[in-house]
Amino acid sequence: MEPILLIHGGAGNIPDARVPGKISGCKRSLRMGYDVLKNGGTALDAVEAAVRYMEDDENFNAGYGSVLNLDGEVEMDASIMVGSTLSAGAVTVVRDIKNPISLARLVMEKTPHVLLAGAGANKFASENGVPTVAPGSLVTQAAREALENFKKKGGKLTEIGHKNPGDVGTVGAVALDKNGNLAAATSTGGINGKMVGRSSDTCIIGSGTYADDEVAAISTTGHGETIAKFCLASSIIREIMHGQTAQEATKDVLEKMTARLKNTAGAITLDKEGKVGVFFTSEKMAWAYRKTNEIHYGIYPDQHETEEAQDDE
Ligand code: GLY
Ligand code: GLY
């Protein structure tokens, strides 16, 4: 099987000034993850590596660079899933964890549970040697300014017609490895100006993340409450099972979700044969994929650039 890695760097009302950083960050993340696949590694290791890169890069709303809750703190969600066994792990409302996606993986591999929250997840992290950072050190200047602007404009989130320029996008990855195994991973700081303790779709298996070797792997981004209400990832899975292609299902479900719930999102889908689906109803969504030596990427609607990978750089 020809391996493929497909990633997103978040959907939303992304300011134009942040576009170049998103695209270059996506390309670096793609390289980190694709190197794993090229060297014969698993889809699980590849999606974790790609997401870890984006968690460390402040251009993305995950890990360092996460948006802030109303009290000015970073609280993060992440989930990961393996398509061969349907094993899944997730964390929600975790603080001071450098790479929440790796903590989600440990929940999957070392506990009898799928989702650990808040203080319990942080306790599990320290018991298992997962790196934590000093309180406040994941907060960036850009995140502080975004929260200040949000508060200046009234500081209220809307349930319908959500448009918050501080939301700079969840990150995610889906991969198919040489053995035909799929995996998916998603990580976020959530929504700028969210309530303290708010959980997002990103930690909900079937909304933010899903992987099934018999169908497809999916990671979503956008307005979390809307994605959760529509069970976005599992709705895309269902349409593929009913005969739609990865692209048709991704587009169709997102358009129906936005028509019904009046908020936007995006998703990346990789089916069991390696066919790609990329679609968003948001203003922008950064995405990129690599198959063989070809890199594909875009961020604006209908943008699709192609270039050859330069592995020796
Ligand atoms: N608003 C968070 C996201 O872009 O998914
Ligand atoms: N989709 C991520 C969030 O709404 O937080």
Distance 307 CA to ligand 2 centre (A): 30
Pocket test for ligand 2, best of 51, 158, 162, 200 (most atoms within 8 A of CB): 200
Q: At 220, is the secondary structure helix, strand, or coil?
A: strand
**Using CA positions, which residue lies closest to atom 4 of ligand 1?**
169
Domains and CATH numbers, the chain: 4-308 (3.60.20.30)
pTM, 2 dp: 0.97
Of 210, 193, 222, the C-alpha closest to 281 is 222
Nearest to 189 by CA among 154, 230, 141, 221: 221
pLDDT in tens, the chain (313 residues): 899 999 999 999 888 989 999 999 999 999 999 999 999 999 999 999 999 999 999 999 999 999 999 999 999 999 999 999 999 999 999 999 999 999 999 999 999 999 999 999 999 999 999 989 999 999 999 999 999 999 999 988 988 888 877 777 899 999 999 999 999 999 999 999 999 999 999 999 999 999 999 999 999 999 999 999 999 999 999 999 999 999 999 999 999 999 999 999 999 999 999 999 999 999 999 999 999 999 999 999 999 999 999 875 5
C-alpha angle 57-199-283 in degrees, rounded to nearest 5: 55
Kindly give the number of the ligand 2 atom that is closest to the alpha carbon of 191: 5
Cβ of 191 less than 6 Å from ligand 1: yes
Strand order in the sheet with 305-308: 115-117, 88-94, 76-82, 182-188, 171-176, 4-12, 284-291, 294-298, 305-308
Which residue's CA is the closest to the ligand 2 atom numbered 4?
224
Q: What is the DSSP letter of 203?
A: G
b/e map of 209-244 (b: 16 or more CB within 10 Å)?
A: bbbbbebbbbbbbbbbbbbbebbbbbbbbebbeeeb
Q: Partners of 171 in the beta sheet?
A: 187
* CA 222 to ligand 2 center in whole angstroms: 6
41 Rama sector, left if φ>0, alpha if ψ -120 to 50, beta otherwise: beta
